Structure 1
Amino acid sequence: MQSNKLRLAIRATAAAAILGTAAQAQAYSFSAGDVDASVYGYARLNMSYDLDENVANSGHRGGSFPTVDDSQDIDGHFGAAASQSRLGVKATHANGVMVNVEGDFMCDTYAGGCLRLRHAYGSYNGILAGQTWSNYNSFVGSTSTLDFDGVAGVAGYGSRTAQLRYTTGPLSVSIEDPKVRGIADNRNGMPALTARLEDKAGGLSYSAAALVKQNSYETVTADDSAMAFAVFGAASMAVSDMITVRGAINYTDGANSYLYRSGGADAYIDVNGDLENLSGMGGTIGASMSLGGGRTINATYGMTKLDVDDLAPTTNETNENAFVNYQWTPVKNVMMGVEYGYYSTETRGGESDDANRLMFAAQYNF
């Protein structure tokens, strides 16, 4: 009976939304029995114009780092996409159980024609199980960009992963699916273990986290393993009613998969068959200025640098990018903005290239 009531409530809500006869809260939030649920998301258009390098991602028009071989050397490249658009459902039971499922349309980078899973998790009494943002992640030190992938060097792993997490107050710990990059014949022998502290005091918000995982490989004739770790710190400070500054710093040893937008391998196998960790560091700094009337100006810079002295001279060593944008919210559920983005990459051998691009975005939330 309860299931039937829930289905009827959903159908009634959907019908009201289609006919436009209900207010926003009535159209997208509803209750049935002991469940309070909501449907949320947005429709978004991204448009980009690459001035001197075609570094646009075809799926969402965000920028990638240029290559030094001039394969992307195309002046004046335009594109538009709506596949960043998002849809989610959240349900909370009277007993405290919360379930969240969310997706977007970027699984097909050219057509944007299928639903990609972003979040799918439940939580109860501080225990979370499923897929959501890694516990080794924080948005505290991140400045808003229109570019979907954002600035290099922000705190932690910049995507979602399957995990089991426990949170008590500002402290959270997790067991997560380990992320590995660049190790041939990789073997995951253990999960990634993380701990994060995130809190605020007055105008200061801060976060610090640590991660431990194992790098390992195995073939018919050889195998080796090495422990890896990563740490970050991030903070945000409201210095006045108008200005907020933010920043983050990261260090990794054998965990460059968790150094955001570094693109670096976690380790390599040397001539003796030994697994050698690769280290890296990164950071970001930015500021936002509120102009009133729903208008903000944001500026941010980020970088990552890998210790690749033992690898080929063509190996990427440094990534840098910077953004300046103007965002306007004319009404509560609408955001429009324009942005300039700069990207630069350099190899261990000193070869480098850069790219400049412009973006426009329009987002309608519900």
Structure 2
Amino acid sequence: MSISRIGCFIIGGAVAISAGNATAITFKVQDTEVGISGYARMNMTYDIDQDLGDANAVGFDLDTEGDGAGPDWDMSAAQSRIGFSTATPLQRGTLKTFIEGDFLASGNFRLRHAYGSWNGILAGQTWANSSLFLGRTPTLDFPSLVGYPGHVNEARQAQVRYTRGGLSLAVEDPTSDVHGAGSGGRLLLDQNNTDTMPDLTARYENTSSRFQYGGSLVLRRLTVDDGTNSDSTFAYGLAGAWRVTITDRTSIQGGVNYGDGLGAYLYRSGAPGAYLDGLGDVNSIAGYGGAVGLSHRLTPEVAFNASHGFAKVDYDDARDDLGAATVADMDEYRSTTFINVLWTPVPRIMFGAELGVVSIEKVDGDDATANRLMLAAQYSF
């Protein structure tokens, strides 16, 4: 079974390139083709201004007073990954399965993907159906650009999905994320969040000559119920992505994302889907984001990538309803910029160097910017 067929992307870890048969071990057991894929990965980071977190992903806990601890050096092999796939021909179609994980959970094994598919019907845990990878630019930073159409979920999304041609429809595990004024007067997750319906998603992708494009839709319900009083609101998100292949060596790609009540679907924005006002009403929080990038292959072995992503969240209503102090410390704006060079001297081996720039602006106007240098070595099998 081709590992590229099941979407084993090294997005944000390495290079949004598909690990195809050249980087997989395959063998047959009776009629079933079995594939084993993965890599050993070392990330090394040097945070120039402030400590941006571990070596796998930049963080946004920046000190706007400029007193954040830095510089900081970190190394980690926790992104290392292993996956297993099967493909078994049946009388009607082919049964495919895929199980994959890494060690980002404090060094313990973390299940990323676990699903089966047959005749377009997928059930299990994998990328949120609304995620649009075709517009992503390769980064060494694991989660990659802020604001891009995707979903922040450490365990991916449990779902049932049906795909026919370029269209995919899915029913996904919901996560109601309504916040309220918590202790200390800050906006914190309300403990009475209740999931009353699944997230509904749709995605369409197509290719026309040198142009690839796609779009996705998310519908969700955000509910709070304390056993006596309850309220809910419906939320939605719309996203689009594209990739233009200018030459055989150069492409420009990007995506846009907008919604009301997006929450984690506004990728890495840090925004809740809604807030609970003083009357007990649930109010959705609007936001938008986007990303754009350039990829150019300098030689067959060396690739250059530059990309920028951002997310903007509207806290005006929450500030009016809950008071300025409640939302003052929330990130109203986040952005990430990455410039990297990736060298693949031989198949299965990649070395990379990357400059990352992280910026935030809080509701009260305070802002901060920090820089990171990253080196990575990846050995795939």
**CA 1:49 to 1:72, structure 2 compared with 1: closer, same or farther past 3 Å?**
farther
Which of 101, 104, 115 in structure 2 is aligned with 1:103? 101
- Give the distance between the partners of 1:115 and 1:287, measured in 2 at CA: 34
Tell me which residue corresponds to 1:90: 85
Tell me which residue corresponds to 1:76: 71
Contact 1:302 1:322 in 2 (8 A): yes
Matches within 5 A, 1:163-178: 163-178=159-174
TM-score (norm. length: structure 1): 0.89
How far residue 262 of structure 1 moved from its aligned partner, in angstroms, is: 0.3
Which of 262, 266, 270 in structure 2 is aligned with 1:263? 270
User: CA offsets, 1:205-227, max 9 Å, x none?
Assistant: 11100010100000133210110
Which of 141, 146, 159 in structure 1 is aligned with 2:140? 146
Amino acid at match of 2:120: G
Contact 2:132 2:241 in 1 (8 A): yes
User: CA offsets, 1:40-91, max 9 Å, x none?
Assistant: 100000000000100122xx43211133455971222001000100000001
Matched, 1:277 2:284: yes
- Give the distance between the partners of 1:361 and 1:286, measured in 2 at CA: 20
Matches within 5 A, 1:1-366: 28-57=25-54, 60-68=55-63, 70=65, 73-95=68-90, 96-108=94-106, 112=107, 114-159=108-153, 160-183=156-179, 184=190, 185-309=192-316, 310-311=318-319, 312-366=327-381
Q: SS in structure 1 opposite 2:158?
A: strand
Q: SS in structure 1 opposite 2:305?
A: strand
Amino acid at match of 2:354: E
How far residue 158 of structure 1 moved from its aligned partner, in angstroms, is: 4.5
Q: SS in structure 1 opposite 2:264?
A: helix
Contact 2:152 2:264 in 1 (8 A): no
Amino acid at match of 2:32: V
Contact 1:129 1:163 in 2 (8 A): yes
- Give the distance between the partners of 1:87 and 1:72, measured in 2 at CA: 39
Q: Aligned residue pairs: how many?
A: 337
Amino acid at match of 1:231: L
Amino acid at match of 2:159: Q
Amino acid at match of 2:88: H
Q: Which runs of 5+ in 1 are unaligned?
A: 1-23
Contact 2:64 2:367 in 1 (8 A): no
Q: SS in structure 2 opposite 1:232?
A: strand
- Give the distance between the partners of 1:26 and 1:223, measured in 2 at CA: 52
Moved more, 312-321 or 204-213: 312-321
- Identity value in percent: 39
Instruction: State which structure, 1 or 2, has the greater radius of gyration over its C-alpha atoms.
Output: 1
TM-score (norm. length: structure 2): 0.85
User: CA offsets, 1:119-153, max 9 Å, x none?
Assistant: 00000000000001110101111100000011101
Moved more, 155-164 or 301-310: 155-164
How far residue 294 of structure 1 moved from its aligned partner, in angstroms, is: 1.2
Amino acid at match of 1:243: T
Contact 2:350 2:378 in 1 (8 A): yes
- Give the distance between the partners of 1:133 and 1:328, measured in 2 at CA: 27
**CA 1:93 to 1:322, structure 2 compared with 1: closer, same or farther past 3 Å?**
same
Contact 1:182 1:264 in 2 (8 A): no
Amino acid at match of 1:100: F
After TM superposition, which residue ranges in structure 1, 4 or more long, deviate above 3 angstroms?
A: 24-27, 68-72
